Amino acid sequence: MKNIELRGSKLAFIDQNMLPHELIYVETDDYKVVAENIKSLSIRGAPAIGVAGAYAVAIAVLNSAQTDLQLFKKEFYDICDYIEVVRPTAVNLSWAVEKIRAQVDRAGVASVQELKDVVLEEAHRIYQGSIDESRQIGLYGSELVQEGSRILTNCNDGMLCAVEYGTAAAAWYVAKEQGKNVEVIACETRPLMQGARLTAWECLQNKIPVTVCTDSMAGYVTANKMADMVMLGADRIATNGDTANKIGTYMLARLAHAHNLPFYVVAPTSTIDLSIDHGDDIAIEQRSPSEVTCCGGKKMAPEGVNVLNPAFDITPGTLIDAIITEKGIVRAPFEPGKIAEHCNG
Ligand code: MRU
C-alpha cells in the first residue's frame, strides 16, 4: 500500500483525517486542493509533505493550458512559491519544491512540454527517493532494535508519514521482517492524535503489538521500565543535532535521559537543514486554538480561554543518542561538522 501516488495527471493520497475509521484515497488534479490537504493534515509527516508538494507542482504544470513559455515559467515559479510555505516546520516541503525549481533552472527549458517533462521527472525522483530511503533507514534503524524491544514513540513516523515504510517505524517494520518480536507504545499525541489514530492503526495493519497511552503517561511508562528506548521521527534537524519534531518529543527526550533510555531520531537526510546551526532558528508552526479546545467534536475548554498550540517542539541535540538516516547511524556527540559530513558523505 502506498500513502501517495500519481495516477495519470492526478495525485492520489490517503486522507489521514479519516483514519482509523475509514481508509479513503482522495484523487485530485488541483494543486490548491493538495495544499489545503497538507494544511489540514490529511497529508502529513515530513517526507510525505515533501513528496506531495513535489507532485502538487507536477499536477499544476501538467494540467496547465498555458502555451507561452515565458508565461508558463512565471506560472511555475508562482506555484512553487505558493506550495512551499503551506507548512513551515518540516523542511522536506521547501526542500522538495526547491529541488524542482533548481532542476528547471539547470535544464534551461526551451518549451512548455520540456518544462512539464523536467518537473514530472524530478517529482518522480523525489517520490522514488523517499521509497528507497525509507527502506535503507529501516535497515540501519533495525540494527538498534533488539529481540523483544519495547519502543516508545510519538506522533506517526510510519508509511503514513512517507510513501512506504516511513522513518522510525521503518526500523521496527524491518526488525519484524528479520524475525525480531517488537512492541510499540504509542503516545496518543494530543491535540490531533496521530499516535492513537495513525501509529496504532499502522501497527495493527502490520501485526505489531501496540499499546496507546496518553502523552502524560509517558513518565509512568519510562519510570516503570515499560519501554527500552524512545525512537521517533523529525521534521527538521539543525547541524548541531537540535531536532524539531511533534509536540511532546522534548518531554520524551527529558524522560529518556532521566531514566537512562536511549533516545533515537530517525529521518532522511532531506530532513536535515544544513543552513541551520541551532534549533532556535527553526520556525515552529502555531496551529488553530480550536484543535486544543475541541476533542472529538466536543468543546473541552470554556469559551474565551487563552490557548497554546505549537505543533512542534525542539529537542536539544545533547539529549539525542543517535540520528539514523538512509546513510547510516550518526552517534552523539554531534560535534561541529559531524552531521553535515554525514549528509555530504
Ligand atoms: O504535524 P504532523 O503530523 O505533520 O507532524 C509530523 C511529525 O512530527 C512526525 O513525527 C515527523 O514528521 C516524523 S516523520 C520523519
Ligand 1 centroid – CA 247 distance (Å): 9
Tell which CATH classification among 1.20.810.10, 1.20.120.420, 3.30.365.10, 1.10.150.120 matches the domain 4-135: 1.20.120.420
The pLDDT assigned to 269 comes to 97
Instruction: Select from 107, 100, 199, 17 the least CA-distant residue to 92.
Output: 100
The pLDDT assigned to 169 comes to 98
- Does the beta carbon of 46 sit less than 6 angstroms from any atom of ligand 1? yes
Ligand 1 centroid – CA 37 distance (Å): 15
Which mutation among 14, 51, 93, 194 tests ligand 1's pocket best, with the greatest number of atoms within 8 A of CB? Answer: 194
C-alpha cell at 307: 490557548
Ligand 1 centroid – CA 302 distance (Å): 29
Closest approach atom of ligand 1 to CA 192? 3
Q: Which residues pair with 236 in a beta bridge?
A: 244
Ligand 1 centroid – CA 45 distance (Å): 4
Chunked in runs of 10, what are the mean pLDDT values of the chain (345 residues)? 95 98 98 98 98 98 97 98 97 97 96 98 98 98 98 98 97 98 98 98 98 98 98 98 98 98 98 97 97 92 96 98 98 98 95
Euclidean distance between CA atoms 206 and 228, whole angstroms:
21
The pLDDT assigned to 343 comes to 98
Ligand 1 centroid – CA 50 distance (Å): 12
Closest approach atom of ligand 1 to CA 155? 10
For 10, 64, 245, the CA distances from 81, given in Å and listed in that order, are 21, 17, 24
- Does the beta carbon of 311 sit less than 6 angstroms from any atom of ligand 1? yes
3-state secondary structure at position 213: strand
Q: Which residues pair with 56 in a beta bridge?
A: none
Grid cell 489540514 in the structure block, residue: 40
Instruction: Select from 152, 183, 139 the least CA-distant residue to 261.
Output: 152
The pLDDT assigned to 1 comes to 87
The pLDDT assigned to 296 comes to 82
Domain borders along the chain are 4-135, 146-344
Ligand 1 centroid – CA 78 distance (Å): 26
CATH 3.40.50.170 for the 146-344 domain, yes or no: no
The pLDDT assigned to 125 comes to 98
Which mutation among 43, 87, 202, 245 tests ligand 1's pocket best, with the greatest number of atoms within 8 A of CB? Answer: 245
The pLDDT assigned to 345 comes to 87
Beta 294-295 vs 298-299: how paired, if at all? antiparallel
Cβ–Cβ < 8 Å for 279, 249:
no
Beta 243-246 vs 312-315: how paired, if at all? antiparallel
Q: What are phi and psi of 74, to 5 degrees?
A: -60, -45
- Does the beta carbon of 245 sit less than 6 angstroms from any atom of ligand 1? yes
- Does the beta carbon of 197 sit less than 6 angstroms from any atom of ligand 1? no
The pLDDT assigned to 84 comes to 97
Euclidean distance between CA atoms 182 and 338, whole angstroms:
31
Residue 277 known to be catalytic? no
Q: What are phi and psi of 66, to 5 degrees?
A: -65, 135
From the list 157, 235, 242, 273, the catalytic residue is 235
Cβ–Cβ < 8 Å for 229, 183:
no
- Does the beta carbon of 234 sit less than 6 angstroms from any atom of ligand 1? yes
Cβ–Cβ < 8 Å for 52, 91:
no
Euclidean distance between CA atoms 240 and 228, whole angstroms:
25
